[in-house]
């Protein structure tokens, strides 16, 4: 193996989301993000890493709320648009279409297939990003595309995985571990 400078690429591709920030009727913005993760089930917490110089950071810091919006792969151009320009210079909420959140004042992407509405419960400040942890106040998903027991119905919807820059993948095929037995003699080899 060789040394890797951009260590985070070892963790890619990652699901790509749209983060909604601000307060409806005041200032609102959308940002693309793949550095998003569940943190805990009880209480329900989700975390997102946000660049400290971004408009989204400014709005989450000011209003203490955000949304995590799931869009299908066929909206990859919207995801790229939201991640490639500043909300200080472009009306991304207007371009993508926005509605007010139900549990928070932050915007939700019109037509999102899944949404988490969060209130900031804590944060960790690194030099270049703040990791905001949000308590999930509401979680909704398109009932045709999401199963409460198994998650997304990937036979019906493809979710975008961000690799780098403009590069995205679809989810690909589903493999159930343990269904084919082990081959190759080593851990993790199929």
Domain boundary assignment for the chain: 7-141+160-169
The answer to whether the CB of 71 falls within 8 A of the CB of 81 is no
Lowest mean pLDDT among 1-15, 61-75, 137-151: 1-15
- Selection from 125, 31, 24 nearest residue 86 by Cα: 31
**How confident is residue 91, by pLDDT bands cut at 50, 70 and 90?**
very high
Q: How confident is the model at residue 67 (pLDDT cuts 50, 70, 90)?
A: very high
- In the chain, the percentage of residues whose pLDDT exceeds 90 is 81
Q: Summarize pLDDT for 94-138 with one digit per residue, the tens.
A: 999 999 999 999 999 999 999 999 999 999 999 999 999 999 999
pLDDT, the chain, mean: 91
Q: Please say whether the structural domain 7-141+160-169 has been given the CATH code 2.30.110.10.
A: yes
- Sorted by sequence, the CB contacts under 8 Å of residue 186 that are 6+ apart come out as none
């Amino acid at each position: 193996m060789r040394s890797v400078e951009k260590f985070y690429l070892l963790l890619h591709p990652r699901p790509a989301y749209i983060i909604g920030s601000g307060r409806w009727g005041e200032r609102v913005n959308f940002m693309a993000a793949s550095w998003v993760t569940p943190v805990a089930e009880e209480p329900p917490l989700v975390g997102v890493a946000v660049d400290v110089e971004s408009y989204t950071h400014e709005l989450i810091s000011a209003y203490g709320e955000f949304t995590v919006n799931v869009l299908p792969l066929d909206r990859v151009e919207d995801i790229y648009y939201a991640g490639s320009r500043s909300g200080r210079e472009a009306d991304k909420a207007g371009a993508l279409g926005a509605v007010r959140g139900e549990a928070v004042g932050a915007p939700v992407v019109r037509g999102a297939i899944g949404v988490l509405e969060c209130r900031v419960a804590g944060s960790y400040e690194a030099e270049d990003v703040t990791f905001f942890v949000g308590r999930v106040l509401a979680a909704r998903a398109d009932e045709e595309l999401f199963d409460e027991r198994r998650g997304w119905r990937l036979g019906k919807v493809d979710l975008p995985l961000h690799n780098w820059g403009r590069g995205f993948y679809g989810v690909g095929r589903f493999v159930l571990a343990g269904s084919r037995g082990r081959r190759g003699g080593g851990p993790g080899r199929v």
